[in-house]
Structure 1
Amino acid sequence: MSALVWISGASAGIGAALAAAVPFPDARVIDISRRGGTAEHLRADLADPADWPLVEQQFTKELAEYDGDRAIFIHNAGAVTPIGPAAGVDPTAYTRAALLNSAAPQVLGAAFLRASAHLKCERHLVMLSSGAAKTAYAGWSSYNAGKAAVDHWVRTVGQEQPADGCRVIAVAPGVVDTAMQSEIRATAESDFPSVARFHDLKRTGALTTPESAATGIWSLLTQDLPNGSRVDLRDLT
């Protein structure tokens, strides 16, 4: 069965694992990122609003006459940096993080919903969340707020879908052993007071792999979840 799949941030980490584990043999997979991670790549800096229309234009073009079995957008791109007190980090970097973590998911998610609204095939919009959406960590204000915004956006938009509409969910994958975790552990305690916890998670082997997270995320597409659900993969084990 055919599928058209977009994954933002598929050049590394969970995004790359998602692209490698697409469970549809004939899927066409498109990476949306700055660097590129799949055979098809839409180059876009999702922290720059000037690039957001490029994504919407591709959604619109590719889905206008799409006659496949399913259309999927997994928004995985996000950044925990800059880490530190909101009043102390670089303001330009902070602005980019706020745009990437909070605004881009909403704008791009809405663009996918508009572009796919006329389709009768299976449609899925999956937003990557985090435990940070519920737990406030000093030094992570942009990341915390962005993931909380994703969760609430999904809850709201899920309510807006008709019975045959797009299935919209948010997924917290747990603590995954990616480059982001390396960035976190390299942070000084003065900027991130909880850093010792993340050193302990690495030392004790408590991190999950990107491949395991990807498998868990893909499995949710076959589950009968209420539209607008927020799922933590750790609750499924």
Structure 2
Amino acid sequence: MNLKQRTFLLVTGASRGIGREFAHQLSGQIKAKGSVVALLGRNQALLEEAKTQILNSEPNLAVHTYSLELSTARTEDFTKILETARGGNGDFERAIVIHNAGTVGDTSKRAKEIGDTLFLQQYYHINVFSAIALNCEFMRLFQGIPKLVVNLSTLAAIAPISSMAHYCTVKAAREMYFRVLATEEAAPETLVLNYAPGVIDTQMTVQVQREAHDPAIVAMFREQREGKTMLTPAQTTARFIQVLEAQKFKSGDHVDYRDETY
């Protein structure tokens, strides 16, 4: 995993939290002249802050920001973003996409209560359909060079968690898509990683703690936050880079922050 090559890096959900930290730390690893970093998110002002943070550390990188609402995003939106960010540079030695963007859903409802099909359509569009559409365009536009495809996964993708029926189902669907991708595409040209970053002190876990219907889940998140045992975005990103550098995982693997095997 040579991150010193001329690299195209796209990070979704890059305006805050884990996505912003991934973009920042990975940019510090990508130093080759001609490398490009593309930041995709909802909040343009926060994306510009993330861009400035990167350029303060790595002034020679080309950094682009793109604001997009994933609930209505279409394939042609992703095509335009990728083509614009890539520009006329067809000389990349590696392309990386970090599928980080996502939402937790309504944790106040039990599984038997989430039957609103309009809400489900929008929720799945944000969390599953948009990631698949973006990935298809990424694979098409960067065919012929080594690609790293990273899906920000979670324990909720492989284990049921009370209060999180929305989140568990989209994360499971998304991870299975990337596992199929890994099965169909030959490594090392395409390397797929489902990375579960652990429980992070972010807006998402604050929302779960505030809204979850299950008192046990609320208590767990509160105790971890108050006890300062939740991970920071910087901690889990540093661990992610260690996983990449060691490269002990097989394409498509689910790797958790706490997995010592990797």
Shorter-chain TM-score: what band?
0.7 to 0.9
Correspondence for 2:199: 175
Task: Report the counterpart of residue 239 of structure 2 in structure 1.
Answer: 216
Task: Report the count of equivalent residues.
Answer: 233
Question: Secondary structure at the residue paired with 2:258?
Answer: helix
Question: In 1, are the aligned partners of 2:107 and 2:212 still within 8 Å (CA)?
Answer: no
Instruction: Report Cα offsets for 1:73-93 as digits up to 9, x if no partner.
Output: 101000003223253687654
Structure 1 residues 164 and 205: CA distance shift in structure 2, 3 A: closer
Cα separation, 2, equivalents of 1:16 and 1:70: 21
1:96 aligns with 2:102: no
Once the two structures are superposed, residues 157-180 of structure 1 have per-residue CA deviations (whole angstroms, 9 ceiling, x without a partner) of: 101112442111111000011111
User: Is the contact made by 2:153 and 2:171 (CA closer than 8 Å) also made in structure 1?
Assistant: yes
8 Å Cα contact 2:191-2:252 kept in structure 1: yes
Structure 2: runs of 5+ lacking an equivalent: 52-63
Contact kept, 8 Å, 2:175 with 2:194, in 1: the verdict is yes
The correspondence of residues 28-43 of structure 1 with structure 2, limited to 5 A, is: 28-36=36-44, 37=47, 38-39=50-51, 40-43=64-67
Deviation, 1:31, is: 0.9
- 1:6 maps to what in 2? 10
Between 1:137-146 and 1:178-187, the stretch displaced more is 137-146
- CA-based RMSD of the aligned residues comes to 2.4
Report the 3-state secondary structure (helix = DSSP H, G, I; strand = E; otherwise coil) of the residue aligned with 1:16.
helix
Q: 1:124 matched to which residue of 2?
A: 148
Looking at structure 2, the residues matched to 69 and 113 of structure 1 have their Cα atoms a distance apart, in angstroms, of: 14
Q: TM-score, normalised by structure 2?
A: 0.80
CA contact (8 A) 1:101 1:142 kept: no
The match for 2:76 is: 53
- Choose which of 216, 229, 233 in structure 2 pairs with 1:206: 229
Runs of 4 or more, structure 1, over 3 Å off, are 88-95
Say if 2:132 is the partner of 1:106.
yes
Q: 1:88 to 1:213 in 2, by over 3 A?
A: same
List gaps (5 residues or longer) in structure 1.
none
The question of 1:19 aligning with 2:45 is answered: no
Name 2:57's counterpart in structure 1.
Answer: none
CA deviation profile, 1:192-228 (whole Å, cap 9, x unmatched): 7622211121122221000111122233333142111
CA contact (8 A) 1:174 1:232 kept: yes
How far apart, in 2, do the equivalents of 1:152 and 1:64 lie?
34
Q: Percent identical across equivalent pairs?
A: 26
Letter in 2 for 1:75: H
SS at match of 2:236: helix
Superposition deviation, residue 32 in structure 1: 1.0
Q: Distance in 2 between matches of 1:126 and 1:231?
A: 11
Q: Aligned pair in 2 of structure 1 residues 179, 210: CA closer, same or farther (>3 Å)?
A: same
